Amino acid sequence: MHGLINRAVQCFLRDAYGADTWRAVAADAGIGANGFEAMLSYDDTLTDALLVAAVQRLDRPCEQILEDLGTFLVSHPSFEGLRRLLRFGGVGFVDFLFSLDDLPGRGRLAVPDLDLPQLEMIEDDGTAGRYRLLCRARHQGFGHVMLGVLRAMADDYGALALLEHRHTDEDAAIIDIHLLDQRHASGRAFDLAEGWRGG
Amino acid sequence: MSAARAPTAPVLPVGLDALGRLMPMSLWVGPRGIIHGAGPTLAKLFAGQTLIGAEFFDLFVMLRPRNVGDPSALVQCGGQRLKLRLRQPPHTGLRGQCVALTGGQGVLLNMSFGIAVADAVRDHRLTDSDFTPTDLAVEMLYLIEAKSAAMEELRRLNLRLQEARAAAENQALTDALTGLRNRRAMDLALEDAAQRHIAFGLLHVDLDRFKQVNDTLGHAAGDHVLAHVARILREETRADDTVARVGGDEFVLILPGLTSGRALNRIAERIIRQIEAPVRFDGQLCRVSASIGMTSSVHYPAPRPDRLLSDADRALYVSKNRGRGRYTLFTPSLKGDPACHCRAEPGTAQGQGAPGARA
């Protein structure tokens, strides 16, 4: 698994549960307290060991931890950059949803060996406002992370949406999206070129 | 009363060639879905095929909006973001926008490659001249190249730094003279074993008569003996064991999984026998021996590194006091009177048989 992903888990555990918890989880998983480097790749088994250790230490189901991780990545101030990159997906939540098809490609553009899940957004024919996000990844956990990301992005856009995660037969995850109101709240501000200011 | 005539917006008179130069990836699709005009770059995607007169939906798949499969639906898409791909390989992805033409003349569709621009340029052998000066595609390609080159350099730098850090960490944990682990490494290994609840045996080895070798034959001989002892300790242990030199002629061995008195006695016995074999240095024979104190983490409900070390140390002193070349396994009875273990006479059964006198 790419260091960026491992490091995201590390930062989440450290910032959401404290440095002591991170150190304990790292020790349980046989990872040094320094943790992961963002731009190196690591064996997948290390990520699994990390999650197993986190589940035991936090005494919470893996799915919940992963969903919280997704929300954390979008909403925590230290990951503002990631939120901004996602907001480039479109001016409204629906635009954003459809931009997810391009997410793996955009990720690869930035970091060539970053293996993000393949995402496919499907619009339901029958009912307006109903969508399905098909998520195919090497690691089952990505679907739950995406659920957390979508929840936080709906808030970010000020949209009101019901989201539900389920598995398919073919090892993929589906997130059912029921968009009730695209402009429910004002959402957070986003300027295209804000990222350049001051830096 | 004159009827107010609604002002008619002027219609832009522009030829297909000029339009193609301005928008080289534009397409004029007539009301029946037949292609009437195509920009030169778009034509390049269909090398060897004639676009004019072909059916739009034979060549393109509309991905979004969905269910747009006929010309009338295409007209309804005005103003929306379109997502398409070529029906034939390499199925290049496109995005675009269309506007309805006046007089029911169909639609004008303008497209670009979007995120997949680099792939498209490679697949269709496009060049700078296939993009207009107002199109940022070439700048995008430049950015991709420049960023990739910089990323590659950073990746290599990362790997070098990672290797350097591993080497530095290794050095910081290694005893330079013998290549064994040092005291810090021993502390880390003990902490790690305690934290992960790994059962282990602990040996504290102290050389006997080492000072004489140093004093009579010199430091070089002493160093030679230390290196020799280090080799023995390595040979008598497994790859997962920790063998550390923690002082001038003191060593600590951490042996995961080796906790029984019998196993520890056996290994102590072997180590002492090997160390007692004389070593030749510069034509001289160096003779040293070793005393060993041992303990096992299974004797403690909650094994604390400092406690185990001090108990192994106590057992070592019992060995020393019982004469050289002895080994002693710590038992709680060694703990009693602090004066007792110092004055213990050689051969007395301090630990009810636990202190092993060598044959």
pLDDT category of residue B87 using cuts at 50, 70 and 90 = very high
Catalytic member of B175, B241, B249, B311 = B249
Is B262 a domain residue? yes
**Residues A81 and A39 grouped into a single domain:** no
Asked if B343 is an interface residue toward chain A (Cβ–Cβ < 8 A), one would say: no
**Residues B84 and B207 grouped into a single domain:** no
**Residues A146 and A181 grouped into a single domain:** yes
Condensed to tens digits (0 to 9), the pLDDT of residues B160-202 reads 998 998 888 888 899 989 999 999 999 999 998 988 889 999 9
H/E segment holding residue A10: helix A3-17
Condensed to tens digits (0 to 9), the pLDDT of residues B209-267 reads 999 999 999 999 999 999 999 999 999 999 999 999 999 999 999 999 999 999 999 99
Clarify whether B70 is annotated catalytic: no
**Residues A97 and A54 grouped into a single domain:** no
Condensed to tens digits (0 to 9), the pLDDT of residues A82-137 reads 999 999 988 899 989 999 998 998 898 888 888 899 999 988 877 889 999 999 99
**Residues B189 and B113 grouped into a single domain:** no
Domain at A84, CATH number:
3.90.1520.10
Asked if A130 is an interface residue toward chain B (Cβ–Cβ < 8 A), one would say: no
**Residues B105 and B225 grouped into a single domain:** no
Domain at B287, CATH number:
3.30.70.270
Condensed to tens digits (0 to 9), the pLDDT of residues B104-158 reads 999 999 999 988 899 999 999 999 999 999 999 989 899 888 998 888 888 888 8
Residue A64 burial (CB count, 10 A): 13
**Residues B101 and B213 grouped into a single domain:** no
Count of structural domains, chain B: 2
pLDDT category of residue A196 using cuts at 50, 70 and 90 = low
Whether the Cβ atoms of residue A10 and residue A56 lie closer than 8 Å to each other:
no
CB contacts < 8 A, A to B, total: 31
Q: CA B149 to CA A112: how far, in whole Å?
A: 11
- Determine what percent of chain B is predicted with pLDDT higher than 90: 65
Cβ contact, residue pair A105, B116, below 8 Å: yes
pLDDT recorded at residue B3: 53
Domain of residue A54, residue span: 3-60
Domain of residue B262, residue span: 183-343
Count of structural domains, chain A: 2
pLDDT recorded at residue B56: 96
Condensed to tens digits (0 to 9), the pLDDT of residues B12-66 reads 899 999 999 999 999 999 999 999 999 999 999 998 899 999 999 999 999 988 8
* Alpha helices (runs of H) in chain B, residue ranges in sequence order: 16-22, 40-44, 56-59, 71-75, 117-123, 137-172, 183-195, 210-217, 219-235, 261-276, 305-321, 338-343
**Residues B330 and B199 grouped into a single domain:** yes
Whether the Cβ atoms of residue A73 and residue A149 lie closer than 8 Å to each other:
yes
Condensed to tens digits (0 to 9), the pLDDT of residues A144-188 reads 999 999 999 999 999 999 999 998 777 789 999 999 998 889 988
Is B322 a domain residue? yes
Q: Tally the C-alpha atoms within 13 A of residue B95's C-alpha that lie toward its C-beta.
A: 12
